[in-house]
């Protein structure tokens, strides 16, 4: 149930509303039910017995994106994200989730089911070309912009160990996440290419499973435990210098949310903290070894304007924002141009964009404006979720292409 130490935070809310302007959903509706202060006070009143665990409470709390901007803005240090994660567990236990999400949870928990689902999805995409081009949408995203499934699992394609190129200077465990494993194999290949060229041996545990962030952030905290335990077992190895991720959500989960979840549930957190301490975004590793990166030489005059979008789970959960910029700025033929509000949520937030399409569209439209205002030809980011949302919503001819930071790095190193 609701963790006692987090209840204490509710007494520190000054009701000052400094969280309001940073909240993406409040910006869209301008209603307290979609603002952090309103939500926190509802939770407080529920715990004090003045509100019940009602549909209204469910609505207010489930329309929160969990972007963590409010926690960062709070002058009195209320950990709003943890308040919301705790109350969602109670809401989940009372209301459950819809059928689609149930199916998704089941798939994320069982690797075989997940791969089967991906396989069926791939067949579906091949068989039903017509609706893809009819402009049908899932949430706000046209079906033909959803991305194609990999032909086979990336992890299987690549195997357990990829040796360093040349002298080995380090060994990392690569937590690929489901997105790279099943959809974005090009991102996975880029990670492996770049890291091995830096002299890093990349170990890809074949028995890693979904990080389960989508499951436990929906409130199903206990149901996520088998996946969490499995991953901690796989990842807690003393022979690895780091655990590298290419997905901000997996990274944020391992680095922050999983230790907190276990703490809230009164579980042993030693192993989770050991793992968390080693988790690094791929851009962090690269930025530390920039001088060793065999970059291609600049071709004269053909620079591309790139703007960088900070995924919520990267900039706030993992506290990584400088490194991807450092890496991008050092690449040849790239001019990095900052957008306004780079750290603001893109409105995707996984299933949020499908469950709350209208609200999500409002949040996304601000992001789109800011991206377009830069005139950049590429948007780089470090989260497959954001990539899906951004590429799914930026489909005008003049819109920039969306790429993972690591793809740009891989394209700009010298060929072996």
State the nearest-atom distance from the C-beta of 287 to another protein, in Å.
23
The string of DSSP codes covering 249-317 is: HHHHIIIIIHHHHHHHTT---HHHHHHHHHEEEHHHHHHHTGGG--BPPPPTT--EEEEE---HIIIII
State the nearest-atom distance from the C-beta of 62 to another protein, in Å.
12
- Does residue number 342 form part of the binding site for another protein (CB under 8 A)? no
* Contacts of 228 by beta carbon, 8 Å cutoff, 6+ apart: 212, 216, 258, 261, 262, 272
Which residue in the set 47, 51, 170, 290 belongs to the binding site for another protein (CB under 8 A)? 51
Cα 35–Cα 41–Cα 47 angle in degrees, nearest 5: 140
* Contacts of 288 by beta carbon, 8 Å cutoff, 6+ apart: none
- Using the rule CB under 8 A, give the single segment among 36-44, 184-192, 202-210, 359-367 that binds another protein: 36-44
Which residue in the set 6, 24, 25, 37 belongs to the binding site for another protein (CB under 8 A)? 37
The smaller minimum CB distance to another protein, of residues 77 and 301, is found at 77
- Using the rule CB under 8 A, give the single segment among 52-60, 84-92, 95-103, 246-254 that binds another protein: 52-60
Q: Which stretches within 110-171 are classed as H helix?
A: 111-127, 129-133, 154-158
- Does residue number 7 form part of the binding site for another protein (CB under 8 A)? no
Which residue in the set 11, 167, 302, 415 belongs to the binding site for another protein (CB under 8 A)? 11
The smaller minimum CB distance to another protein, of residues 51 and 290, is found at 51
Calpha distance 41→133 (Å, rounded): 46
The smaller minimum CB distance to another protein, of residues 41 and 269, is found at 41
Which residue in the set 5, 76, 100, 358 belongs to the binding site for another protein (CB under 8 A)? 76
- Does residue number 47 form part of the binding site for another protein (CB under 8 A)? no
Query: What are the residues facing 379 on neighbouring strands?
Result: 307, 402
* Contacts of 353 by beta carbon, 8 Å cutoff, 6+ apart: 139, 140, 141, 347, 360, 364, 389
- Does residue number 266 form part of the binding site for another protein (CB under 8 A)? no
- Does residue number 369 form part of the binding site for another protein (CB under 8 A)? no
The smaller minimum CB distance to another protein, of residues 17 and 165, is found at 17
C-alpha Rg value of the chain to the nearest Å? 21
Residues that bind another protein (CB under 8 A): 11-12, 14-18, 20-21, 30-33, 35, 37-39, 41-42, 45, 50-52, 54, 56-57, 59-60, 75-77
């Amino acid at each position: 149930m609701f963790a006692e130490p987090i209840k204490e935070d509710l007494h520190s809310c000054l009701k000052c509303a400094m969280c309001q302007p940073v909240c993406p959903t409040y910006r869209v509706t301008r209603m307290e039910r979609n603002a952090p202060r309103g939500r926190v006070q509802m939770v407080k009143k529920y715990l004090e017995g003045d509100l019940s665990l009602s549909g209204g409470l469910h609505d207010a709390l489930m329309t929160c994106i969990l972007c963590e901007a409010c926690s960062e803005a709070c002058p009195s240090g209320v950990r709003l994200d943890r308040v919301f994660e705790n109350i969602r567990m109670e809401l989940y236990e009372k209301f459950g989730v819809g059928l689609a999400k149930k199916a998704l949870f089941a798939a994320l928990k069982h690797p075989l089911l997940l791969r089967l689902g991906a396989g069926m999805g791939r067949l579906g995409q091949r068989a039903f070309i017509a609706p893809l081009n009819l402009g049908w949408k899932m949430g706000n995203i046209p079906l033909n912009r959803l991305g194609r499934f990999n032909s086979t699992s990336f992890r299987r394609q690549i195997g357990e160990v990829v040796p360093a190129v040349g002298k080995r200077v380090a060994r990392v465990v690569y937590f690929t996440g489901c997105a790279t494993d099943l959809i974005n194999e090009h991102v996975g290949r880029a990670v492996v290419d770049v890291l091995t060229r830096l002299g890093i041996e990349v170990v890809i545990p074949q028995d890693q499973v979904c990080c389960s962030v989508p499951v436990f952030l929906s409130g199903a905290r206990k149901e996520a435990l088998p996946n969490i335990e499995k991953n901690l077992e796989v990842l807690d190895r003393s022979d690895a210098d780091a655990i590298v991720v290419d997905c901000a959500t997996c990274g944020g989960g391992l680095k922050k949310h999983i230790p907190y979840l276990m703490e809230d549930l009164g579980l042993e957190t030693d192993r989770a903290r050991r793992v968390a301490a080693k988790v690094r975004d791929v851009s962090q590793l690269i930025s530390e070894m920039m001088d060793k990166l065999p970059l291609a030489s600049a071709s004269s005059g053909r620079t591309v304007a790139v703007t960088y979008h900070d995924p919520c789970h990267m900039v706030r959960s993992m506290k990584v924002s400088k490194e991807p910029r450092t890496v991008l700025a050092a690449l040849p033929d790239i001019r990095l141009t900052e957008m306004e509000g780079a750290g603001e949520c893109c409105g995707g937030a996984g299933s949020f964009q499908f469950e709350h399409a209208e609200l999500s569209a409002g949040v996304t439209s601000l992001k789109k404006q800011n991206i377009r205002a830069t005139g950049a030809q590429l948007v780089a980011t470090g989260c497959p979720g954001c990539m899906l949302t951004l590429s799914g919503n930026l489909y005008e001819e003049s819109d920039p292409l969306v790429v993972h930071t690591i793809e740009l790095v891989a394209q700009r190193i010298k060929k072996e």
